[in-house]
Each structure stands twice: as C-alpha cells, then as structure tokens.
Structure 1
Amino acid sequence: MPQLEQQRRLVTEIPGPISTSLMDRRSTAVSAGVGTVVPVFVARVDGGILQDVDGNCLIDLAAGIAVTNVGGSDPQVAGRVADQAQRFTHTCFMVAPYEGYVEVCERLAELTPGSHEKRSALFSTGSEAVENAVKIARTHTGRDAVAVFDHAYHGRTNLTMAMTAKNLPYKQGFGPFAGEVHRAPMSYPFRDPGGMTGEQAAQRAIDKLESQVGGDNLACVVIEPIQGEGGFITPAEGFLPAIADWCRERGIVFVADEVQTGFCRTGAWFACEHEGVVPDLITTAKGIAAGLPLAAVTGRAEIMDSVHAGGLGGTYGGNPVACAAALAAIDVMREQDLPAKAARLGEILTGRLTQLQQECPAIGDVRGRGAMVAIEITEPDGVTPAPAIAARVSAACHADGVLTLTCGTYGNVLRFLPPLVMPEHLLEEALDVLTKALANLTA
C-alpha cells in the first residue's frame, strides 16, 4: 500500500458524512461510557497523518496517547506482526512459552536505566503493569502502604483508580477503592510557591509521608517522572532524585511509572534518565509495541524474583503477536534514533510555544520534555485555570484538521504528542493552526 502524503487536507467538514453515519451506528452499539475526542472514524494512519473514512487528512498530535511513537503503520512492525500471526497468535506464556517473550524481557533489561541485574514480567495494559508493580513491592518489603502524588494518573483498575488523583472522569461513582494508598504533594513549578526548588518540594512530600504514613510502613512510592493525564507536569530539577534517595534510605521500592513517558518520548529512552534516576521498578506500556497491547514491569532481580511462582501473569500477558510488534518497534527506535528525533520535535514545540506565549496571555505555562509538551491555559490573571478556553481551542484545531488532546486536573492543559517519525513541516503547520485557533478564541 502506498504511503500517505504527509500533508493536511480537508475535503469535507469535520466530521464528514461517512464519519457522521458511523457515529450514529456507534451510539446504538457502543456504551455511552466510552468517550471520543474527535468525531471522525479512521481509515489509515501513516507518519504524522491520520486519514479518516471521508478522505480528510488530519495532522496527528496525539499518537494514540503516546503509543504510535514509530508511526501507526510502520512496515517493519507490520511485517513482523504478520509473520508471527501466521505462525501462532497465542499459547499463553504460562502454559507453553515462546522466545519472543524472553527476547522482549532481554531488550528491557538492556534499555531501562541502571546496570544492575534485572528481570521483567509482561502484561497487556499500563494499569496491569502498575498494579503488579505494587504487588511485587508489597511482597518484597512485607509492607502494605503505597504513596502516590497529587495530579497522578495510574490507570482504571480498582487499585490504580485509588492511585489516580482526578475524580472525573476516572473515579466518579466507581468506589469504594482499594485502601492503603496515600497521596503526597507533587512538584508543580507553575503553581508552587515562588522560588520553591525541587529539593524543597521533595522535602514537603517526604515530611507529609513520614508524619502521616511513616516510611517504615511504605512498600513503594509510585511516580510518573512527568505526569501525563495530570497535565504534563514536569517536576522541578532535583525533585525526583531526592525522592529516590529517600526511598533508598528507608527501604521503600521506588517505582517509576513510565507508561506514557517511556520509549523515546521525552528525548531519552526513559524520562528518569534526564536526571540520572535509576528506579527499582519501572512500568512501561503505550509506546512499547506500536499500538498492540503490551506492558511490562522491569526491575531489580532480587525484587522481581521475590514473588512466588505463579504469582505474576495473565492469560494474554506478553502475547506473541504483541511481543513481535515490540521487538520490531524497538529496532525502528534504534535505527532511526528516535530519542534524537523526539528532542528535535521538542525544540520546535517549545520554541514556537514559548514565542506564542509572549503574544497570547491565555498561555500561562509551557512545559515538558522532548515530544511531550503542553501549554496550560489560564484566565487573564495568568493563574486561574480556563478549561472552557482550552476545550474551544482544541475543538477549533480539530475542525481545521489537527488532532489535539486536553488534559490536566483542571482540564485546562493542551498537550502535544506527535508521532516521533512526524516530518518537521507537519509539526510547524500544526502549530500554525494552533496559533490561529488561539488568536480567534482568546481575542
């Protein structure tokens, strides 16, 4: 199949007639509890372009929420997936194992931070990976308590909902939740008191945990190095190392949730690397397998091996087709040096958005790393969250052929997650559309 031309093109209004018809069918067949960001149905994805069933070509600044880092139809991934599917699609690794699972675990041991001996266990979703990281930490330490942070997002299972901070849409009406989950303040430079350093913010969190939980009772601290759904909050320099050092001193397992930040997204293979933090356990998913369901917990051998045989697993965890996709995706990331490409896309994003901030008072903050960048939209006072404006700007971008996402505890953050293989001219054009949308809606 020929590649899609890497150009934005609108041939109908958004949504077009075929997408509208499919949305009608969706309403009679799909639960209303399943949301949709943009009302178009996808026909093809290639590079930085998402083509809908009406022939419209949208610039993709979502990448399936940081999943299609290597693009949505990479030929190496597609070829390896097809080859594996022709041989077998499933046996369950716990019943009859296969080499692909082992090879993915070997790659994770090579790529994740730290030179210590490592083990991995594979799952299907990021939520599963986080929940299993907690199980492993509890087994290893013999403790129960779990610490998480304000604005965190860790998943939609019962335990990970308890770990997630935001109520709507993730928690409303779904309780009661798992217990022994305790929340500490996050380093949020835009909203922290002026002049607060990363080390001071870490001490604020540590003091709360020591006084309200007790370090001796904590099995693990689970943290996103850059918070995703919470608003792409990038902690002040020094925050993560200080939390990791405290965990080491107190015998607490430090878990880095890199489900969204992992696999080249931030300009490094993993976001922890930016400050030299080596987690005890690291959870991954999203970008690992180019869109196929795969997740992992990787960590110190003595921690991972503390669980009894049969204590970890799942029917579909480490599915052979998903493992094939991951192995091909990792090859592409290496061959195309996607950490460097992410860094370059980040330079464009940060440069253009910082310039735009000078012209647009509604942009209160520009933040992120690599190709994981966001703007926080505020009222004229420069502080009060403005979610309605953020939603209107995002909708205007959709109507003009650019797929954007909102996020944040207050719903006022526009986040940008281009596929790492996106041509630079497409990103520049997408930012032109964003600039126009902001000018029209905040004038």
Structure 2
Amino acid sequence: MTPVSWSCMTPVTYWAIVESMTSRCQAERLAIAVSGEAGSGKSTLARHVAEELALPMLDLDTLTVPLLDQLRETVFENHWLAPPHDGVVRTARYAALYATAAEVVATAGGAVLVAPFTAELAGGSAWADLVRAVSPVELEMIYLRGDPELFARRRAHRGQARDAHRTDTGRPVPPAVQHVPIDAELTPAQQGFRVLRALGRRNEIDPGSTVLGRNFDAVLCDLDGVLADSTASVLRCWGRFAEELGISAAAVESNHGRPARALVERLLAPDRVAAALQRIEDIEVADATGVEPVPGAREFVAGLPAQRRAVVTSGTRRIAAARLSAVRIDVPAVLVTADDVRRGKPDPEPYLCAAARLDVDPARCLVVEDAPAGVAAARAAGCSVIGVLGTVEPDALAAADLIVDGLDRIQITSTSAGLHLSPAEPRTQPSR
C-alpha cells in the first residue's frame, strides 16, 4: 500500500480521507439478537452478520459454558443444564450476557447477540430486559426457524455433551415479538443476505446497465428465487427426498435451477424414475404453503400486462401452481414448466417456448432469473437477463445484464414503444 503524504494535502482532501477512513472503521449502531433452538445455526449466522456489519459478537455459550463446565464437579450435583439447576443457571447466564452486552454497546456502539432467547421471544418482562440491556441503540431480533428433526440431526452430528441434557420442548411456539424470520435450511450466505436485506442494506443498482432505459415486448420470469422465495422449501423437500432414497445431498444442491428429472434419471435406475418424480412432486406441493414472495414480486408482476408476461420454471405445473398460490400471484396465461419441454434449463428451449406462445421475438424479451442455469438458458435464447440475488453469489450471475437484490429495485412502465425498464423510485428504509 502506498503511504499517504499528509504534508501536500489541501484541507478539503485531508478531511475527505479522514471521513472515508472513519466510515469504513466505524461499526453499526445497532444491536442484533440471533435466536433459535440448539442446532439451528445461530452462531454461524451471527458470525457472518457480525463480520458484514463490523460488529462485536457475543455468544451466550462462549460467555458462560467454559465457566459452568469448570464448576460441574465442585458446585453442581449433575449437569448444570439438568434440573434442579436449569432454572437458576438460565437466569445467571442471561444476566451475564445482558451485562456484557450493555458494556459492549456503550463502548462499541452495537453488537450481535447469540442465544436461544426462548423467554425473550415470548415477550413480557424478559423481552423488556433484553431491550433495556442494549439501550439506547435499537434491537433487531432474528429468529431461525426450521424442522425440529433437522435441529436434532445437527445436534447429534456435532456431538456436544451438553446437548444430551437439553429438555425436549417439542415444536417451538412462534415468537410473539417483532422479528425477522430466517429459514435454518439456507446456507449462512443465503441467510446473511436475507438478514441484511431486511435491515435495509441493499445492493446498489448499476446505472450503466444496458437494459435500463430499454423497451421490451415481454417479460419472462423464473419462479423459484425470483417470484417465490422458495429456496429453503426446495432444500428442505429435496433433503427429505434424498434421505428417503439415499441420494447425495451435494448432488441435489448442484441441480438448482434444473428440472428434477435431470437429477433423478442420473442417480436412479430407470424403473425407479417415475415413482421418484411423483414422490418429490408430492413433497414439494405439500411444503409450498409456507413459501413467501421475493420482495417486490407481486407488485412487479401486477405492473405487467397479462398478454406480455410469462412464468418459466423447471418445476412441474402442479408445483408451480402451488407456489404461485402461496405467494398470491395468479397463474399466468403462459406458464412453461418441465411438463412442456423436452430439454430444460440451461437449454434455451423453455424460454424459446414462452416467447413463441406470446408471439414475440426472443431478442425483445427480458428474462428474470436467479440461477446460473436459467441465465445460461436465457442467454442462449437471445434474451436480455436480470439476475436476482438470494440463491447464489453475485459472481454466479455475472452473465446477467443487471443484478438486483429484489424486484422492488426495478419497475416496468408500459408505453407505446413497449415495456420500459428503469430503477424503482427510492423507498424509505424500514425503521428499526
């Protein structure tokens, strides 16, 4: 790094550099509490968020477990998580976390706290104590939700002795306090992206993109990860399916954006394919009810003329209908699914099929995608492409003309010249 020569700088240049250095080194004035059951991945997500926001991380286990483990033989008759100690120890542990958080927030301006926060999520005095501990900065609660069986498998895999002493409370009660729900099935990067987006940390749109200001004859949208934030549902369903049939989880993850048939035919004997495809379809349809829309998806679709839009998905028609219903988007007149083509993405056939049904030139179509296979298919069809973040890293969508972190970042205006694409008007950031 070239050293800075301070003596030759004007006052304006000096203060500009000082301000830039300060803004890069200054932590967020925000307290974030990451909650969830043991095995939900709280610490991993919290560390990811803390690094992104340059905030200190305070983990309840890190602060208290080493001390309590040292006291087991001299103070506790049995494990400190087991009755009759559990209630007293719980109060003491959280008192230590709160006292430490108060000191850290007062000196560093913010922190990321990690704990189950079971009582705090129920509201009442426990929630008030947590809010008071991080005052005067605002508190944002992140809640990792997921299948209890998933958490149990993770606890068994990590093999920590204290997990054997945890009380099984059954299926968790949904939080009563305001919170940001995050699916535990997602990767830490996918989780962190959704947390930061919920906090109003949005990616800037490239103003020099060639698609901005252009007019198109039609917009062709992928479904999963573009209109429906179904990544967690897909991972959850295929995880169950893989476990049932003994399929590698890694192979499942590598198939994102491609038809299920492509994976099943590669991994199973021909006489098992039909039954396996029926089974994964049943699992995905049943799980679709909890799927939520990608930010801005409903508004984006509502702004498109019915005869100028299509949904193009690698799923079956039955799965597509279930997920569109879950996010409250009507099934369009043109819906191209795995049932309608011989070759799925990354082959261009799905997008060529949609353009033909709309009777438009593919070169005059704008495709919205979230997966490399979909971007490749759109490119091969001759379409322009917008990449939506949330499923893969930005580099994986580098072939797209424009990358956004939600459809609320762009808008389509219908004009006599066609569908005009432009950045959406800035919106007020959510208050915390």
Same fold (TM over 0.5): no
Q: Which has the higher helix share?
A: 2
TM-score by length of 2: 0.31
Normalising by structure 1, what TM-score? Answer: 0.30
* Structure (1 or 2) with the larger CA radius of gyration: 2
